[in-house]
Structure 1
């Protein structure tokens, strides 16, 4: 019979899977020059997909931890879900704007800014992964 602890474990594994998959998928994208339409569009859509999955999984983990009476994990997952939601609304519009500058205005000065956002997203993703890994002993 499944109980709240099983759900908590399932969503912990789901958070690890989503975060690891997108972290390892985003690092090779740094080799792109970010100087053409397809690079910026692909990276933006990659992160849009990541943010959607991460928000859903972290929210489900928050609920499962609450049902399993694990307050520290509930707080951690809620922070990850909230941070991911906020970053989605900060990074995606900025990526769109900078991608537009690169595409339509041929603004080569925008490329380093786009790469900076990309690297920041990778760093935040890695931090989330290490946070979830660090909490495994609490399950």
Structure 2
């Protein structure tokens, strides 16, 4: 058994834990009223940390799977890295803009609703990633 399997195991578990932790941590944040800029700033920072952690664990998983010779799983991990990079690049600036609108409008309703929808959408994407990760882990366990 190649030693790369240990790295693949470590990074897969780290990616599962990271994704689950941020999904479960992000759900209670939907309770916030989002009517102050501090809420928007905190949530944006929360997602920024998640996207960075998910990126690096996905890159580690990709490299480990490639070294192990499981190229389909390496491609899947690379896809996760690409997705979180795109989300970080596109969602966080929108969150920043909406936070500025909330602050400028003293808690204006339209920006708050859009921010809440964006927050919920980001969590749904996170949930979809978790489902794919669990499915992939099950498929991997069947092939070992």
User: Normalising to structure 1: TM-score of the pair?
Assistant: 0.96
The 5-angstrom pairing of residues 93-108 of structure 1 reads 93-106=93-106, 107-108=108-109
State the match for 1:49 in structure 2: 49
**TM (normalized to structure 2)?**
0.92
User: What is the match of residue 119 of structure 1?
Assistant: 120
SS at 1:80 equivalent? helix
Q: In 2, Cα distance between the equivalents of 1:23 and 1:2?
A: 33
**CA distance, structure 1, for counterparts of residue 27 and residue 52 of structure 2:** 19
Where do residues 1-139 of structure 1 align in structure 2 (5 Å cutoff)?
Answer: 3-106=3-106, 107-137=108-138, 138-139=140-141
The one-character-per-residue Cα deviations of 1:53-88 (angstroms, maximum 9, x if unpaired) are 011111111111100111111111011000100010
Q: Secondary structure at the match of 1:109?
A: helix
Q: Determine the C-alpha separation between the residues in 2 that align with 1:134 and 1:95.
A: 30
CA distance in 1 between counterparts of 2:23 and 2:113 reads 20
CA-atom RMSD in angstroms:
1.4
In the aligned structure 2, how far is the partner of 1:3 from the partner of 1:64? 9
- Unmatched runs of 5 consecutive residues or more in structure 1: none
Q: How many residues align?
A: 139
Long gaps (5+) in structure 2: none
